[in-house]
Amino acid sequence: MAPRPTEIRKVAELMDPSGSEESKALALEIINALDAMRLDRDQWIVGFRSSQNTPNTFMGPWSTKNQAMRAAAKVAFLENPETTPGVGWVVSKMYGPTWIDSM
């Protein structure tokens, strides 16, 4: 996902209040470098199904598995996951976090 012009201007203004073209170019490089570093980090998602008549739902991402586990523990179910097949949650490492860019 490309940085928004307002994001570039804001970072450029932090470096150079006059907003020169050089500061905008450097701001774009900084934002892109940070985005690339963030994509290299592990991310975790929670997938769940609250009843047999509802679709699978996914939420997240979280930067640690523990954060995702805490979020999963708060999921409300319409049917008992212990007695209803197909109802429950799973925490999974998110492989290829750029999947959303293809939507």
Q: Would you say residue 100 has pLDDT above 70?
A: no
Work out the number of other CB atoms within 10 angstroms of the CB of residue 77. 16
| Beta bridge pairs of residue 91 | 46
Answer yes or no: do 33 and 62 share one domain.
no
Q: Are residues 74 and 50 in the same domain?
A: yes
In-domain check, residue 102: no
Mean pLDDT of 50-63: 88
Domain count, the chain: 2
State whether 52 and 89 are in the same domain.
Answer: yes
Give per-residue pLDDT as tens, 16-33: 998 899 999 999 999 999
Q: Would you say residue 66 lies in a domain? A: yes
| Residue 89, helix vs strand vs coil | strand
Helix (H, G, I), strand (E, B) or coil at 61: strand
In a domain, 35, yes or no: yes
pTM higher than 0.85 for the full model?
no
Higher confidence at residue 27 or residue 77? 27
Q: Is residue 100 part of a domain?
A: no
Are 75 and 88 within 8 A, CB to CB?
no
Q: Can you give the residue range of the structural domain that contains 70? A: 44-94
State yes or no: pLDDT of 42 exceeds 90: no
Site of tokens 């006059």? 18
Answer yes or no: is pLDDT of 43 > 80: yes
28 found inside a domain: yes
